[in-house]
Amino acid sequence: VWNSRALKGIWRPAGTGQVIDLGLQQDSYQLRYLTSSIAGNYLADGPGAMSANVSGDTRLQAAYAQDAWLPAADWKAVLGLRAEHWQARNGRTDFSATAGQSYAARSENFLSPKAALSWQATADSVLKASLGRAVRMPTVAELYGATSTTNSQYINDPNLKPEKSWTAELSAESAWGPLQSRVTFFAETTRDSLYSQTVFDAAANKNISRVQNIDRMGTTGLEATLGATDWLVKGLDLTASATYTDSKIKANRGFVVTSGDTVGKWQPNIPRWRATALATWRLDERVSASLAARYSGRQYRTLNNADN
């Protein structure tokens, strides 16, 4: 169960002509998960003895401000700051009616700045640079949601750290009549990355899943996009993109068979190559038809993948 509240607005300081974006946010999450054993037919029989009862609460409160101005002709700058207050409390796991464990409450504060600068180099070309920080808190289920069935088990970790990332981008956008193009170089460093992994435990004969913090991941890449409006015939629009990503584990002290055996491996679920192509034909103002194709290169599902 969760609830979210958000409030956005603008502030115009008198006599400055500036417009400052402001916002407030609150997200609250509750975990209540009770499992019971069933002696026979799960469709007809009632619940038996309690197998597990897990619960917990998290809350995130945040405020942000963002301002944009023109420091010189053809230049635009944007600065922003987000402040976050995160709490986790009431975490508890009961393994039976007589055995249980409570977890200590937690509270943390974070500041996430962002900055961007763009230059209108020509009438049809724009250069942009941006830098920003983001924080991803562990969910209430990742912290407290221990569950177990006949052939699967999820191991929670109440001490998970929030994931923290710094991301930078450099891009160039140009237009030539009906054609538009963009090339973007991006780089990201993520510390305490939150990653879920499932392995098969032959001794227990079940899949064991858990979320862990990976000390540091590094990602660099290049993306190119091309679009066309009314290409060849009126109403036919085309867009295409290709992305190359080099994303690897730089440091990882946890959940390894041999110390360091995941360092230098590819980040799971991040392919090196991705490409898309989309054609849209606007039959009239109300009807359009689209045809799309997507390609994703090889992805890995485990941290200690074999390909370097």
Q: Which residues of 92-106 are buried (b: 16+ CB within 10 A; e: fewer)?
A: ebbeeeeeeeebeeb
Nearest Cα residue to 135 out of 196, 193, 65, 57? 193
Q: Which pTM value belongs to this model?
A: 0.83
Q: Does the pLDDT value for residue 163 go beyond 80?
A: yes
36 in Cβ contact with 49 (< 8 Å): yes
> Rounded CA gap, 293 and 278, in Å?
7
Locate tokens 């920003």: which residue? 132
85 in Cβ contact with 56 (< 8 Å): no
Contacts of 37 (CB under 8 A, 6+ apart): 47, 48, 49, 50, 51
- 74's torsion region: left (phi>0), alpha (psi -120 to 50) or beta? left
Quote the tokens at residue 130: 């941006």
Q: What is the pLDDT of residue 301?
A: 80
Alpha helices in 122-191 (DSSP H): 140-144
Nearest Cα residue to 131 out of 85, 86, 64, 188? 188
At 256, the pLDDT band (50, 70, 90 cuts) reads: low
Helices (H) and strands (E) in the chain, counts: 1, 15
Beta strands 100-102 and 75-94, pairing class? antiparallel
Mean pLDDT of 117-126: 95
5-14, 122-131, 152-161: least confident range:
5-14
At 259, the pLDDT band (50, 70, 90 cuts) reads: low
Give Cα 89 to chain centroid, integer Å.
23
At 5, the pLDDT band (50, 70, 90 cuts) reads: confident
DSSP notation for 191-210: EEEEEEEEEEETTTTEEEEE
> Rounded CA gap, 26 and 9, in Å?
15
Residues in the chain: 308
Nearest-5° Cα angle at 195, 192 to 199: 135
**Span 206-249, pLDDT tens digits:** 888 888 899 999 999 999 999 999 888 888 999 999 999 999 99
> Rounded CA gap, 281 and 17, in Å?
42
Strand partners, 169: 130, 186
33 in Cβ contact with 145 (< 8 Å): yes
> Rounded CA gap, 11 and 18, in Å?
8
Mean pLDDT of 137-151: 87
Mean pLDDT of 1-21: 74
* Of residues 55 and 284, more confidently modeled: 55
